[in-house]
Amino acid sequence: MVEANQQYSDEEVEQTFIEKPDILDKFKGAGKITDIAIKKAIELCVPGADVYKISTEVNNIIEEEVKKVFSNKKSKNMERGIAFPCTISVDNIMGHFSPLADESGIIEEGDVCKIVVGSHFDGYSANTAHTHVASKDNAKVTGRKADVVLAAYNSYLAAQRAIREASTNTEVTEAIAAVCKEFECEPVEGVLSHKLKRHLIDGNDSIINKETPTQRVEEFEFTAGDVFYLDVFASTGEGKPKESELRCTVYKRELDVAYNL
């Protein structure tokens, strides 16, 4: 997970790649590692594969690949590694499923696998997600399964286009809703996309995937230099997630807490 040896001041946390271009280099470096990891995860998500084994292999790839970037004398002591562990959530499991070996599952033909993984350099993280339908023969995905995958993907593209300087998070939420409607799907409640900061993947500024009378976020305008992690979920049902009985294995580190691991 993201490591931090000390607290950072508000001024340091708020710096963007506009003020410090080397921050963009760190985001890009992490992005390249994350791309390698997600491609490997997709390759491994085939019928008969064990979720635990895939997650472990992908996490190990990140740990090895980050050693190859920013490896000169000046940067070799830079913190680096996994920003978000590889999670593979199948079918009705929304996300963050990274099981222990004895709680794992086997991927079956036609399973909808939602993969998430992320890496970082110096606390600047690049996370990515991909929805993959497992098939030995790369069979064409059809019906409602195809609808919901396309709804999520095209909503993500619309959200990207809606994020621009002086536009608002409300406009992004509206764009997601409009696209999902075209595919007769529902945006999933309780999902937030957050502003990224150093050592922080869930900043206060957030975009809500679906607004309800009881679930709202404060409206804000995007500014130059903002970096957001877009998290878009769509459902063929009502889009109302329920808590699972599965054990949580992914935890976020608190920067002001010392851990003995």
**Which residue range forms the structural domain that includes residue 220?**
141-241
Overall number of domains in the chain: 2
Both 120 and 174 in one domain: the answer is no
Q: Is the pLDDT of residue 76 over 90?
A: no
Alpha-carbon gap, residue 42 to 256, rounded angstroms: 35
Examine residue 254 and state whether it is found in any structural domain, yes or no: no
Both 60 and 150 in one domain: the answer is no
CATH code at position 39: 3.90.230.10
Q: Which of 139, 156, 181 is the last residue of a domain?
A: 139
Mean pLDDT for 172-190 is 98
Q: Is the pLDDT of residue 117 over 50?
A: yes
Alpha-carbon gap, residue 208 to 169, rounded angstroms: 8
pLDDT band at 156 (very low <50, low <70, confident <90, very high): very high
Contact 230, 159 (CB under 8 A): yes
**Regarding predicted confidence, which is higher, 152 or 72?**
152
Alpha-carbon gap, residue 2 to 78, rounded angstroms: 12
Examine residue 114 and state whether it is found in any structural domain, yes or no: yes
Q: Which of 80, 111, 139 is the last residue of a domain?
A: 139
Q: Outline where 99-168 has alpha helix (H).
A: 143-162
pLDDT band at 147 (very low <50, low <70, confident <90, very high): very high
pLDDT band at 145 (very low <50, low <70, confident <90, very high): very high
pTM summary value:
0.89
Q: How far is CA 33 from CA 76, 134, 150, 176, in A?
A: 16, 23, 26, 28
Both 74 and 127 in one domain: the answer is yes
Half-sphere exposure of 52 (CA within 13 A, CB side): 8
